[in-house]
Amino acid sequence: MSATTIPSRPSLRGIRWRPVSNFFSGLTRLATFSILALLAILLSTILVNGLPGLSFRFISTIPKKDFFEPGSAAVLPMIVGTTVRVFVMTLFVIPIGVITAIYLTEYAASSSLYTRVIRAAVNNLAGVPSIVFGLFGVGFFINFIGRGFDSLTHQAGPQLGQPCLLWASMTLAVMTLPVVIVATEESLKSILPGLREASLALGATKLQTIIRVVLPNALTGILTGGILAISRAAGEVAPILFTGVAYYMRDLPKSPTDQFMDLGYHIYVLSTQSPNIDQTKPVLYATVLVLLVLTFSLNGIGILARARLRRSGRSDS
Amino acid sequence: MTHGRNSSRRTAGWGGIYRGHRARVGERLAEMGIFVVSLSAIALIFLIFLFVGREAWPILIQSDSVNSAAVQDVIPAVDLPKLSPEQIRAYLGIDAAQLDRMDSETIRELMLVREEAFASLPQSLQRDPDARLNTVRWRSLILPHQWAGYSRPEFIWQPIGEIHKYNIVPLLVGSLKTSLIGLAFAVPFALGAAIYVSQIARPRLREWLKPAVELLSGIPSVVMGSFALIVMATVLQRFFGYETRLNAFVAGIALGMAVIPIVFSIAEDALTSVPRSFIQAALALGASEWQAAWQIALPAALPGVFAGVVLGFGRAVGETMIVLLVCSASVMSWNIFDSARSITTTIAAEMAEAVAGNHHYRVLFLLGTILFAVTFVTNLLGDIFIHRLKRRLEGKQ
Amino acid sequence: MSSPPSPYPSAVPLPGPIIETRNLQLWYGTTPALRGVSLSIQEKVVTALIGPSGCGKSTLLRCFNRMNDLIDRVRIDGECLIGGENIYAPEIDVIELRKRVGMVFQRSNPFPKSIFENVAYGCRLQGLKDRHELHSIVERSLRGAGLWDEVKDRLHESALSLSGGQQQRLCIARAIAIQPEIILMDEPASALDPMATARVEELILELKRDYSIVIVTHNMQQASRISDYTAFFYLGELIEYNETNRIFTNPEKKRTEDYVTGRFG
């Protein structure tokens, strides 16, 4: 029984053509670069068509009702509406998200059933369709809480029992809660356990350790979570459709119970309601560009901060 | 001042150890607060289910209080004394408290109004048997019905006009159709890219490829939708030469672009989490990078890849703005070049015109409940797959 | 006792040393890891590479099957000849090279597949499909790795169900299944208990009848027990290379003596 399988040694010289391997690894490369090409086409189309429409007037005036005309279109109230709604959102989502993350990393046993249920709930929440959050906003915030308050205070007309900035922001807060929890958890986990032990060894209580040592060190992570949540929420339209967005308003919103205009929703309006789509296109592209600049700059900051966090986390371990 | 406290603590000696936890009531309370807040995610899942479901509840239990029939049988006002309070409430669609507040004269008035309203309806409608159909019954919601003027039973969603038709099957088909097209487009690209980035590309290239592909997830869906509507629809039509410019195919491709980063991210994470030592062993045996990726890394990471596909499907089914922008007509058809209307689109487009509390409104919330249930299941499945992947990879060592 | 088959009957005897490096230099980025190593490794002997951590012995080992290619920003200069071919020449087929230069890693790393499939994997890569032939190769390789009697009844169970020592011998069986000329071993016993280590060492002594073995080890006793030649490295340089008993009994360099007698390291 001599070696039957490899009768002779082929030469090392000459790089073999391996058709199957080369074909398939070529395909994977093609897939990757096609995605990037698609992305590049998308972004460059928007950039090329949107830039000419951008002007200081465009982003700094309140448009008249005919915002489909390139001459009179402007997006100030939309920028304000989008910005305000995401910042009001952070007021709700960051405290709740951070506290939940603290519980998960600092208090809960990582393998207990209870933690697993919270984790599953967080993951699940992250996958709920945004339109369902919109319905939830109507059913819970407007119909239940808002109307409930109105009937308690015996208002003449609906005050809180109607779509408004506050409910839209809270709906978005529910939607982005998982983003904040996950980002904060990640940064809390990247803190050296030695740091906590050092604080505890000095006689600090667990809560003192968390407040004085853990949280300050996790600040970048928390901010990252906030930024990622904002950039996710800034472009979302479905959750605010019935909870507060307005087709047109003459003024900027003045109180949380006002309705507001929104960049994303405005893009939808421009693309579908225009009497003359060819004329509206420059306005549409410019508006898209404004929204993209807003979300991408936030996203970019978030990704950079996160990459830095990961790197420092890795060098720690 | 702090000094004073410190020294008093010091003189307390070791006794302080035992007094310690009694003194920190505030801390206990704060920790309890943290615990309560940590329940928020679980609470929210319940609340969503509860409050979206609550608005759909009358339909779910098929309560008589919701009736979409265009023509309801008229009980002559003179018959009022024969009616029981329950019959009156069902007939007028009011609750017990409202009934208590009315005297018999008011009720008679209301019944007369109904009589007049019926009399003012066109003759054709008065005689149309379909007009008496309560279309929010399960039978009408799910099964096909042969409407007057149609040659055969059909699935129709048409909540406008005299007779509201609420068959949800065309919407389910629309959602499924667009999502499956989206997945069919996204999965090969996303998976190929995940294999390339995690296994084949040089590490230095990988470092910027991954965030570049994930940049796609930063594009809001309304932007993707309007891009599909204005640019892609025309390009694809020119390329494939089909008739309707806006159809399920265009929506599916745009959905696919939104789904690519999700499938890619999860699959890439799963592939990267396969220990390098496996790959090195394969390469040391003379495997090409593709062979190592396909024969060793991919089988090991399979649950994670499944999770990516399942969660991608959930995202596609739940995506609203893309389909809303690209196609809207609800046609019952599996043809990918026909228009389609998904569940999400229907909710988004019709919620504004639905009167709160009426049958249309409730059916839309029913759709929301179905959507929530579907994504709940896909999320759970994705979770299970990821757990399996972790167990598989950890159990190895 | 079955006579071990000759690994490659039709191959002509190789002239000279089987591995030869000439002024081999390697940098990770800008950090030099090998500073001009010239070394000739003989056929069908066990050559041990020893030295303190970070001396470049593992890096050198990974040069022989070009596993360093997988790391970014590695730069290599000088020559490394295997069977007379400079393996860093541009026209060299790395995959072909790796089929001839097998490797056993520090931590056992069987694939998450069955025992049979682990051993058969290398042959399948080369397009072998015949079940009978595969089976005979698997049996021969497992016998060669001294594992056959322990696993013959559970060839289709997961390789991960084996003990650590068995897994490492399985990795050796997997490496010899494709009949390489050279087997590189990167501290193959460092993660094993003494019993399992003894079995692996025994196995190495048997394997050297058919294969040229290069082994990196931290364990001085191990090097003296199993190797015929020993090379001592320090800070990326080859300090001394000689027959093993010379290195351990009568080293020429002071530094070598300090290391092998345990004065530093």
Q: Is the Cβ of B392 closer than 8 Å to some Cβ of chain C?
A: yes
Report yes or no: B141 and B168 within 8 Å, Cβ to Cβ: yes
CATH, residue A273: 1.10.3720.10
* Structural domains present in chain B: 72-120 (no CATH), 169-353 (1.10.3720.10)
Averaged pLDDT, B59-67: 78
Averaged pLDDT, B347-353: 88
Total domains in chain A come to 1
C213 confidence band (pLDDT: 50, 70, 90): very high
CA dihedral A108, A110, A112, A118 (to 10 degrees): 70
Contact yes or no for B286 and C103 at CB 8 A: no
B186 confidence band (pLDDT: 50, 70, 90): very high
Does residue B190 sit in helix, strand or coil?
helix
Sequence letter at residue B262: I
Contact yes or no for B45 and A231 at CB 8 A: no
Contacts with C96 from chain B: Cβ below 8 Å: 286
Q: Is the Cβ of B40 closer than 8 Å to some Cβ of chain A?
A: yes
DSSP summary character for residue B154? B
Which site among B219, B221, B264, B376 would you substitute to test the A interface, given the most A Cβ atoms closer than 10 Å to its Cβ?
A: B219
pLDDT at B128 over 50: yes
Nearest chain B residue to A243, by CA: B352
Report yes or no: A121 and A127 within 8 Å, Cβ to Cβ: no
Distance from CA of A245 to the nearest CA of B (A): 11
Does residue B174 sit in helix, strand or coil?
helix
HEC per residue, chain C: CCCCCCCCCCCCCCCCCCEEEEEEEEEECCEEEEEEEEEEECCCCEEEEECCCCCCHHHHHHHHCCHHHHCCCEEEEEEEEECCEECCCCCECHHHHHHHEEEECCCCCCCCCEHHHHHHHHHHHCCCCCHHHHHHHHHHHHHHCCCHHHHHHHCCCEHHHCCHHHHHHHHHHHHHHCCCCEEEEECCCCCCCHHHHHHHHHHHHHHCCCCEEEEECCCHHHHHHHCCEEEEEECCEEEEEEEHHHHHHCCCCHHHHHHHCCCCC
The reply to whether A11 falls in a domain is no
Q: Hey, what are C113's tokens?
A: 């597949």
Query: What residues have CB less than 8 Å from B58, skipping those under 6 apart?
Result: B65, B66, B362
CA dihedral B361, B367, B373, B374 (to 10 degrees): -160
Q: Hey, what are A1's tokens?
A: 């029984």
C6 confidence band (pLDDT: 50, 70, 90): very low
Q: How distant is the alpha carbon of residue A121 from its chain centre?
A: 18
CA distance A11 to A14: 8
- Quickly tell me which residue has 């094993």 as its tokens: C192
Residue A254 vs residues A240, A261, B342, C126: alpha-carbon distances, Å:
18, 12, 36, 73
The reply to whether A45 falls in a domain is no
Contact yes or no for C72 and B275 at CB 8 A: no
User: In C, what residues contact A, Cβ < 8 A?
Assistant: 2, 5-11, 82-83, 85, 87, 89, 91-93, 95-97, 100, 123, 126, 128, 133, 136-137, 140, 178-179, 181
Averaged pLDDT, B7-23: 50
pLDDT at B126 over 80: no
Contact yes or no for C105 and B277 at CB 8 A: yes
pLDDT at B254: 95
The reply to whether A58 falls in a domain is no
Q: Is the Cβ of A231 closer than 8 Å to some Cβ of chain B?
A: yes
Starting at the earlier edge strand, list the strands of the sheet with C74-82.
C31-41, C19-28, C74-82, C85-86
Contacts with C96 from chain A: Cβ below 8 Å: 10-12, 16
Distance from CA of C133 to the nearest CA of A (A): 8
Does residue B218 sit in helix, strand or coil?
helix
C187 confidence band (pLDDT: 50, 70, 90): very high
Averaged pLDDT, B98-108: 80
Lowest model confidence (mean pLDDT) among B62-71, B244-253, C227-236: B62-71
Q: Is the Cβ of A209 closer than 8 Å to some Cβ of chain B?
A: no
Nearest C-alpha neighbor of A261 from the set A51, A57, A67, A55? A67
Contacts with C178 from chain A: Cβ below 8 Å: 6
pLDDT at B11: 45
Q: Which of A38, A125, A292 sits opposite B45 (nearest CB)?
A: A125
The reply to whether A5 falls in a domain is no
Report yes or no: C20 and C81 within 8 Å, Cβ to Cβ: yes
Report yes or no: A287 and A54 within 8 Å, Cβ to Cβ: no
pLDDT at B131 over 80: no
What does the pLDDT look like over C68-122, one tens digit per residue? 888 888 999 999 999 888 999 888 889 899 999 999 999 889 998 899 999 999 9
Nearest C-alpha neighbor of B292 from the set A19, C74, A24? A24
CA distance C203 to C209: 11
Nearest chain C residue to B205, by CA: C72
HEC per residue, chain A: CCCCCCCCCCCCECCCCCHHHHHHHHHHHHHHHHHHHHHHHHHHHHHHHHHHHCCHHHHHCCCCCCCCCCCCCCCHHHHHHHHHHHHHHHHHHHHHHHHHHHHHHHHCCCCCHHHHHHHHHHHHHHHCCHHHHHHHHHHHHHHHHHHHHHHHHCCCCCCCCCCCHHHHHHHHHHHHHHHHHHHHHHHHHCCCHHHHHHHHHCCCCHHHHHHHHHHHHCHHHHHHHHHHHHHHHHCCCHHHCCCCECCCCCCCCCCCCCCECCHHHHHHHHHHHCCCHHHHHHHHHHHHHHHHHHHHHHHHHHHHHHHHHHHHHHHHC
Sequence letter at residue B60: L
Contact yes or no for A129 and B226 at CB 8 A: no
pLDDT at A1: 37
- Quickly tell me which residue has 């495997």 as its tokens: B287
User: In C, what residues contact B, Cβ < 8 A?
Assistant: 65, 67, 70-73, 95-96, 98-99, 102-103, 105, 107, 109-113, 121-122, 125-126, 160, 171, 174-175, 178
Does residue B73 sit in helix, strand or coil?
coil
- Quickly tell me which residue has 């039973």 as its tokens: B153
What does the pLDDT look like over B275-332, one tens digit per residue? 999 999 999 999 999 999 999 999 999 999 999 999 999 999 999 999 999 876 667 7
Residue A219 vs residues A192, A215, A223, A254, C223: alpha-carbon distances, Å:
14, 6, 6, 32, 52
DSSP summary character for residue B131? G
The pTM score is: 0.86
For residue B70, the number of C-alpha atoms closer than 13 Å in the C-beta half-sphere is 20
Contact yes or no for B41 and A122 at CB 8 A: yes
Strand partners, C27: C32, C75
Q: Hey, what are A6's tokens?
A: 């490899």
Lowest model confidence (mean pLDDT) among A1-15, A234-248, B196-210, C166-180: A1-15
CATH number for domain C17-260, candidates 3.30.465.10, 2.70.98.10, 1.10.3720.10, 3.40.50.300: 3.40.50.300
What does the pLDDT look like over B73-101, one tens digit per residue? 777 777 777 777 777 777 776 777 777 77
Report yes or no: A236 and A130 within 8 Å, Cβ to Cβ: yes
The chain-wide mean pLDDT, for chain C, equals: 88
Contact yes or no for C112 and B396 at CB 8 A: yes
CA distance C109 to C111: 6
pLDDT at B7 over 50: no
Q: Which of C93, C123, C133 sits opposite A14 (nearest CB)?
A: C93
- Quickly tell me which residue has 């896909």 as its tokens: B378
Residue B208 vs residues B64, B197, B212: alpha-carbon distances, Å:
60, 10, 6
Q: Is the Cβ of A149 closer than 8 Å to some Cβ of chain B?
A: no
ipTM: 0.88
What does the pLDDT look like over C229-259, one tens digit per residue? 999 999 999 999 999 999 999 999 999 999 9
CB pairs under 8 A between A and B: 263
Distance from CA of B203 to the nearest CA of C (A): 6
The whole-number mean pLDDT for each consecutive block of 10 residues of chain A, a chain of 317 residues, reads: 47 80 94 96 95 89 82 88 93 94 86 84 91 94 90 79 93 95 88 86 87 87 86 92 88 89 93 87 93 87 72 50
Count of CB atoms situated within 10 Å of the CB of C194: 8
Which site among B200, B271, B279, B285 would you substitute to test the C interface, given the most C Cβ atoms closer than 10 Å to its Cβ?
A: B285
The reply to whether A281 falls in a domain is yes
Averaged pLDDT, B162-183: 90
Nearest C-alpha neighbor of C100 from the set A277, B338, A13? A13
Distance from CA of A255 to the nearest CA of B (A): 23
Distance from CA of C261 to the nearest CA of A (A): 34
A232: containing domain: 67-316
Averaged pLDDT, C57-66: 93
C263 confidence band (pLDDT: 50, 70, 90): confident
Q: What angle do CA B160, B325, B182 make, to 5 degrees?
A: 110
pLDDT at B134 over 60: yes
